[in-house]
Chains A and B, each alone.
Chain A
Amino acid sequence: MEILSLLGQGFVVAATPLNIGLLLMGCFIGTLLGALPGLGPVNGVAVLIPLTFAFGFDPTSSMILLCAVYFGCMYGGRISSILLNIPGDEPAIMTTLDGYPMAVQGQAANALAISGVASFVGATIAVLGLSLFAPVLARAAIHFGPADYFALYILAFATIGGIAGVDPRKTLLSALIGLLLATVGLDPISGVPRYTFDSFHLYDGIEPIVALVGLFAISEILMLLEMHLKDRPKAIPVGSWLPQWGAIWKTRAAMLRGSGVGFVAGVLPGAGASLGSFMAYVAEKQWSNKKGTFGKGDPRGVAAPEAGNNAASGGALIPMLSLGVPGSGTTAVLLAMLISLNVQPGPLLFERQPDLVWGLVASLYMANIALLILNLPMIGIFTRLMMTPTWALMPVVAAVTFVGVYGISNSVFDLEMMVAFGVIGYVLRKMDVSLVPLVLGLLLGGDMERNLRRAMSISDGDWSILIASPISIGLYILTAGFLVLSVWLAVRDHRQTQAERLTEG
């Protein structure tokens, strides 16, 4: 009951006209930035930080605005994943796997509606978790040590073969290229430059968003150019502009499962939204891919990762607020913002500044509802985008990606790198190599390595530390179970098809 009264207090703080105005503006800007490939939460926050200082908003209003942008981006990222096969931001890569096939089959409206509702469900569950259990969860998360994080990443990489497996060897190759690229830059442990070829631009490693935009957006443009030279692309049939509610209802279980998985990943400060959406997709595929429809436009393959990514983003606010540990790049910026507003995140924040914390939580509930209302009517507009001829659409996509990537760091080098990744992406796609594992390798590889190295530093090189805690042992058992199950299922399917062939023959 105490929480309810605190939350009520929060709604009183959040529901001022100024805060509601900022909330709506933040949601709108966030959705837009999320939807445009290359532009994302980093750009949004970069644009808005000077604005909040210029207007001298109090910490609560500033945080409401920035969190609305952050949540808005998570909603928006899915739009270009579904319509263009180009993820709007990092956590939206999993949505391309089933979202784009759905759009190609004329199901764009359904895919957008399912992902919108899934985003709402995921984010709402995360905010509920935040308001009910934040301090408890934060205290539990500190028991996750470097060896346990490493075990978690092992689980993630063991399941990577299951995401886009036409040919598991190609998936593995793609993931390994990603891992390789993740080692570029200053070694975080010893500070030694690796694979930088004496270029200072490579000291900070490869910025995942630059690689992502290059691999997906630039290569998509190259593919289209080639298709136009050969033959005109088939027009995508635009089905209904209105989503079917029954289709959304059918994915409810997938949404809930995805939210659960994503939320856990979000609460762990070493994991984050990308891992959340990835694990949610893999878990869902393992759970319900009985007919082999995943990867070919299964609505559950859209619902699970979207719920997972939004639940993880909300969950990441828990370690940020109650421990002061950012779980992602954007929460790191939010944290810096809090500190410069003279708010000290950490164990005492909930006691000392209940107005700020509960005002923020209340505004997140409001932002979720605002985003759902904002997003559903826009489905009609977005689906019409599918009818835009590619000769008109792609130049805009190209312009936006160049502007977005340049806007992050003011660096021409990043643009060159983006184009290089575009060419790599094009070549890999011609060889039927899925790009998703590559990006996952790049995104997760660095953290996986750092945690392994930290564990090794703690134990002074003794490998037994990796299996010294019950958490890591549990995760390894889960990994082994997953692998055994995958192999068993593959063998069973193989026998079935063989048996069918025999009976047919």
Chain B
Amino acid sequence: MKKYLKSINLMELLRPIGQLVVFSLGSAAVLSVIVLALAFVLDYTIVGRTLFAQLKVSLFTYTIVNLPQVLIDGLTLGFVYATVALGYTMVYGVLEFINFAHSEIFAIGAFVGVEILIALQGAGILDHSSLFMSYVFLFLAMLAGMAVAGGAAVTMERVAYRPLRNAPRLVPLISAIGVSFFLQDSIRLVESLTTGQFNRIFPTFGNFDNRLVFGKLPMGTTEIPLGIPIKSVIVIIAALLMLIGLNYLVNATKVGKAIRSVAQDRSTASLMGINVNRIIAITFLVGGSLGGAAGLLYALKFTRIDPYVGFYPGLKAFTAAVLGGIGNITGALLGGIVLGMLETFAGAYLSAFTMGAAGSEYKDIFAFGILILVLIFRPNGLLGENVSQKA
């Protein structure tokens, strides 16, 4: 153990943070330049004149004044996607298998955490707790969510995936789709048996809903407040911690080494005395608990959850993982950020740039469009290595 600890390089641990800063700034800069250039050009066309007639500002001013808030929102959304994508990528990296049911693991984490908080609120504890204690409760709810979600993921692997490990690729995928359906309705059954209703709402407590306001930017006759809600800050910090923790686990511990070796070659790893089944179970445990944490963060940020809540974030996170290069931990984060930024940019600016003909309803098209574009030029994702096909 000591030998391992010695070999941990601080730089190695912090490297993903560095990469992250570079990616965030990079994607922010690229997208900003694109919209500003577009705004500059369109300002002289009917598009700019229409906007001016409506809001009494030029399109360029409109774009640049809104930009800081769009960047903040995009980054937050990116981190939400990234936390979900970590779980996908973890499992894919080891098994080369899309765990379709990860979105339900995510939902399980959200429900367990929210149920605990609702129970605490029902007992009157939340409303009278100090600020510090409300953070403690949030953390405890998250831990519980992680534990249950991790357990569910391990069980799922044991029951539905392990028997299929050597089957053709499509077989476990279909099984995963089956697990996904099964879990959705199981959550619904459990939740509706207790209260008759299966959607849950994150209780209001602590200071999570407050907003850190940085100031106001004047635009035409109005002012745009610039700020970030505290819950978004929590999401970003939690996502960073999850990334660092995961990076440490995979790159600096004995288990991590075993995980990497199983990912590279299962049969050789087993010849080297690694218990492959155990390592795969651990992978699911880690991926599942990350998913559970992501679920609670999602509930915190967006308030309302139902048993089908995992589907769209799951889809987006999956896209993000593929965009970044599936199987690559930093790639998942990068993919999440790029996707979150892109969606927020498209949603915020599209209606102004098209005179209202197309609006934020097209943001998903942008997300999938960019995915197709990236895959054409980098078929293995932004950070994916060119892995050869396993026969």
Real binding pair = no
